[in-house]
Amino acid sequence: MSTRVVGLALAIPALTALARAATATVATPAGPAVTLDAHRTVTAGFTPQ
């Protein structure tokens, strides 16, 4: 159980960095919306409800 928590803790910053990189590199109007949707999905997946 603790291994999973540590894995998630390490994965969240990496996913956030990927989302920022995607936002910075995508120039199309649809790009940011897709990135925000992906980020929201990832955040919802890792945030305790």
Domain with 30, as residue range(s), is 2-46
Domain count, the chain: 1
Mean of pLDDT values over 9-34:
66
pTM here is 0.34
Q: Please say if the pLDDT value at position 1 is more than 70.
A: no
Tell how far CA 7 is from the center of its chain.
14
CA distance 13 to 15: 5
How would DSSP label each residue in the chain?
A: -HHHHHHHHHHHHHHHHHHHHHHHH--STHHHHHHHHHHHHHHHHHS--
- The pLDDT value recorded for residue 49 is 44
16 touches 28 (CB < 8 A): no
